[in-house]
Amino acid sequence: MQAPKLQHFINMKKVIALLLCVSVVHAVAAIETDSAKLFFDSLEASFTYQHGEIKLDDGIGTLNVPEGFRYLDPKQAAYIIHDLWGNPHGEGTLGMIVPENIGITEERSWAFIITYEEMGYVKDDDADDIDYDDLLKEMQSDAAAANEERAKEGYESIAIVGWAAKPYYDSEKKVLHWAKEIKFGESEGTTLNYNVRILGRKGVIVLNAVASMMELPDVQQNIEPVLASISYADGNKYADFNPEMDEVAAWTIGGLVAGKVLAKAGIFALVLKNIKLIALAIGGLATGIWRWYKKKTETPTVRKIES
């Protein structure tokens, strides 16, 4: 009669141990979550956002920060792109604009990154002749070929899933739009790269919207006010081109979409925001404790079934 009581006692100890383990997991996760929140709140408070008129570097032009947005200067933008988002490079931007009511460290954050590529005067006479489906296949092949080099540098592979918005050229405003859906590594989700090129006399202003696919409607809704907020300085406009003095770019509209000449900047295929890894790390910690406990208490039969 003692054996059942002993077994009952042993089972109760296991239940108590399990409850303690679960409590520890929740407590540790709570501590980590609170720490992460404090860290990101502090990080967000460290950024200096600007509004109003912004003179872009090198006298290229002016940004009048549109309503509902705020601006971060090139130094802060480089930190976010490289250190927070984990991209190979972050330098060379003219800054970034982000929604007013969404912090850059929030899970649902997104941004327009501004750069300038001085490549010469881009002729647009091929705009109506491009087969964008063929161009997509070429871009997918180029992305796959580049993955070996990305792997050597410790970065995830990139796969271009397809067009999120097919290329469109506004010949009156001299603005080119397109959007790619991109998958990084083994990630379940995909990233949106919405690209805009504003043609000028000696190059192009680049607007690259980095967001998740769910945020595509928000990006599209704000493209026009963002475009209207940027203007070239006198002498730098597309109409200011002087064929006797100015250099013509080696790339036309199709080349801009393919992005080969711009790939060296390293920020036109931005990885998923690594802020999400904090949540994964917290979940991984709890899972690790749970697996440790199971390993200590499970029977050989259970281990065999799991294997």
Q: What SS3 state is found at 163?
A: strand
How far is 45 from 271, CA to CA, in rounded Å? 24
Specify the pLDDT at position 296.
41
Q: Does the pLDDT at position 231 exceed 50?
A: yes
pLDDT tier for residue 143 given thresholds of 50, 70 and 90: confident
Q: What SS3 state is found at 180?
A: strand
Q: 10-19, 86-95, 217-226, 236-245 — which is least confidently predicted?
A: 10-19
Q: 7-21, 75-89, 204-218, 275-289 — which is least confidently predicted?
A: 275-289
Specify the pLDDT at position 267.
36
How far is 212 from 6, CA to CA, in rounded Å? 57
State the chain's mean pLDDT as an integer.
75
pLDDT tier for residue 17 given thresholds of 50, 70 and 90: low
Instruction: Name the β-bridge partners of 71.
Output: 50, 97
Compute the average pLDDT of residues 276-298: 37
Specify the pLDDT at position 35.
64
How far is 32 from 18, CA to CA, in rounded Å? 21
Neighbours of 99 (CB within 10 A): 19
Give the side-chain half-sphere CA count within 13 A for 252: 9
Q: What SS3 state is found at 53?
A: strand
With tokens 């949540």, the residue in question is 279
Specify the pLDDT at position 287.
38
Percent of the chain with pLDDT over 90: 29
pLDDT tier for residue 302 given thresholds of 50, 70 and 90: very low
- Which run of H or E residues covers position 182? strand 175-184
Output the CA torsion sign for 129, 134, 139, 142: negative
Buried b (16+ CB within 10 A) or exposed e, 214-233: ebbeebeebbeebbebbbbb
Q: Topology of domain 49-273, per CATH?
A: Protein Transport Mog1p; Chain A (3.40.1000)
The full set of domain ranges for the chain reads 2-43+280-306, 49-273
Q: What SS3 state is found at 272?
A: coil
Compute the average pLDDT of residues 258-287: 38
